[in-house]
């Protein structure tokens, strides 16, 4: 078994452009999925934005990225916070730490320990892209994404 720790960058509408730029610098392959690809109506505002993006170079560089969804009316983001509101993750943090493991048991073990005294943003459960996915902010204020590796088509 092995795990990877990856910087997960958060953008406001330009995640695709950032990943393309980083690819021009480092080479490698990108995988990009939009909110529309995961069920948002294609004509809805933001459906073309990136919900999952990744660049992986042959030399080992890996970075993930997504476009933070917009805030709902009346939403107030407290600096340094990450939370779920109306089914979307809202944050003002520029990055998360992503931990990806090979098996569900492996990642569940990390989740069980890391979640002690943490604020759960999204419960660890199966998702549209992974056998297990969850998000939490640990007792030190660091937001973590944990998931089980899945194959993504290169773009």
Give the residue from 92, 60, 88 showing the smallest Cα distance to 76.
92
Domains and CATH numbers, the chain: 3-148 (3.10.180.10)
Confidence of residue 6 (pLDDT cuts 50, 70, 90): confident
Report the distance separating Cα 42 and Cα 76, nearest Å.
27
pTM as predicted: 0.63
- Give the per-residue pLDDT at 37: 92
Is the pLDDT score of 44 beyond 60? yes
- H or E element at residue 62: strand 62-67
Query: Among 55-59, 113-117, 136-140, which stretch is predicted with the lowest mean pLDDT?
Result: 136-140
């Amino acid at each position: 078994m092995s795990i990877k720790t990856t910087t997960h960058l958060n953008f406001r509408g330009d995640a695709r452009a950032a990943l393309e730029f980083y690819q021009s610098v480092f080479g490698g392959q990108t995988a990009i999925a939009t909110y529309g690809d995961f069920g948002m109506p294609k004509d809805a505002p933001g459906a073309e934005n990136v919900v999952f993006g990744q660049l992986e170079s042959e030399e080992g560089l890996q970075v993930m990225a997504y476009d933070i969804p917009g805030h709902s009316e009346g939403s107030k983001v407290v600096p340094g916070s990450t939370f779920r509101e109306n089914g979307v993750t809202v944050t003002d943090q520029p990055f998360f730490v992503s931990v990806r493991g090979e098996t569900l048991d492996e990642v569940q073990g990390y989740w069980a320990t890391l979640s002690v005294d943490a604020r759960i943003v999204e419960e660890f459960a199966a998702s549209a892209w992974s056998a297990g996915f969850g998000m939490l902010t640990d007792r030190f204020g660091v937001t973590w994404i944990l998931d089980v590796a899945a194959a993504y088509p290169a773009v």
